[in-house]
Structure 1
Amino acid sequence: MSSIDLNADLGEGFGRWTLGDDEALLDIVTSANVACGFHAGDPSTMHRICDAAVERGVAIGAQVGYRDLAGFGRRRIDYDLTELHDDVLYQIGALEAFCRAAGGQVDYVKPHGALYNTAAVDEGQASAVVAAVRAYDPGVPVLCQPGSVLARLAVAAGLTAVGEGFADRGYRPGGTLVPRTVAGAIVTDPDLVVARAVRMATARQVETADGEIVPCDVASICVHGDTPGAVELAGQVRAGLVKAGRTLAPFVAWS
């Protein structure tokens, strides 16, 4: 495929606390994963991001997470699965209100942080996410790790699973992410991040922290909004992908 999507996590401030330069990133990315108020974000931030994304033609994804503002959604929680289902559905619905007010819609759903990592391997939590998305709209895709439990269950339930790669995160041999508590979890060297993004987009591969080359069949590449120098890094990744012959466009707009 000649097209590739570039996404970033946005709207992750809360109240007077700000994180990242959302406006600048929206000028670079093609899809925005918008925090829905549980791990980060608040109504005014969601409103602002949806307005700005629609104005720029950037696709909007509900970035749903654990109810864990203090831990930024990066601590695993052993949820009651019915409660997790309802929390995910609630977050999608909250973002949808601001999308509609801006003249847009929730284009896809992406779990955040510990929920993303847990749903990649845990059938219970993955099934709760899948059921919540189906309850909202079975036509909405799920952005997730390719080959994960979440991807498999989403497809089995009739949803579309869209593979995502992380240019600025370390990988383990099984294709899962290196935990943030372990050295090598975050990749910050711009040249290396760009090279990894290009390799994902062109060869559908990624190099693990151990130097192994593993498959990484992705349609979207993420640069985290809270990675140091995220705006400049995202700009370099975009430029590198274009130089490699890829057309940047939201995956939800591909024909």
Structure 2
Amino acid sequence: MICIASTSLPTLPDCPRTAPPWTQRSRGLILDLDGTLIRGHEVIPGAQELLARWSERYVIVSNNSTDTAATLAPRLQALGLPVEPSALVLAGEQAVHHISHHYPHSKLMLCGSERLQACALELGLTVVSRDADIVLLARDIGFNYATLQTLTRELTCGAILIVSNGDLTHPGPHGSVIPETGALLQALLACVPGTRANILGKPAAMLFQEGLRRLNVPPADITVIGDNMRTDALGATRLGLSYLLVGNAPHADAPDVARLLEAACSRRHVLPDDVASGNDYQ
């Protein structure tokens, strides 16, 4: 896994004296991707300026469970976002690394993209089509009845279920809704009720902790920017990190990143009362 280290505390990005309070307190950013910087192949207004202003002072922590950093970075660069692989912390790829570290000799059934399959093989994992010790469920656009039947059989026979992320959907272009890993998980749990799913993506701590490690900036100087109260904000507050939200959902601080860069708002440290009272994800 890639580590970004620094020997001294990064300075604040150059901002005018009238810059919003949150920019003056943010030495590093943990950014969401879908719905915050992009929607499918659309770049959200302000994304380029945000990345330019915090160049080398941000990481993108995403519940993306289709890509690896090496395959996603060139596509983001083609959209005009200067993102290096080392700045990407992706749920699917991190889940494969997690299994490689904690279960290196286990037989793995991976329900996910060819990119994740290749990542697992590169790490030396044994990928099988039956009799698995572990099932990793990620976003699989080829998921069908046969897949559901196979996974049901493996879990019934005692395989451990690890899930890259629990999102039901993520935002697509022109307001479209893209089905996510969590939707596949719900189908699987309907067939094997009582199964314990170990969900590694946001709001769980693993991805955020990797982002913090790469930034090497004190948590008090980090701001999480996302579009989802139940993943980005909840995950941030669980680790004592400040957050801001963009988008059209309730409690958003600005409609998009462009407006957030001009918004006279302060960083937030707690969830709204109506969210905090029921902050269990799913």
TM-score category of the 2 structures, normalised to the smaller one: 0.3 to 0.5
Q: Over alpha carbons, which structure has the higher Rg?
A: 2
TM-score, normalised via structure 2 length: 0.31
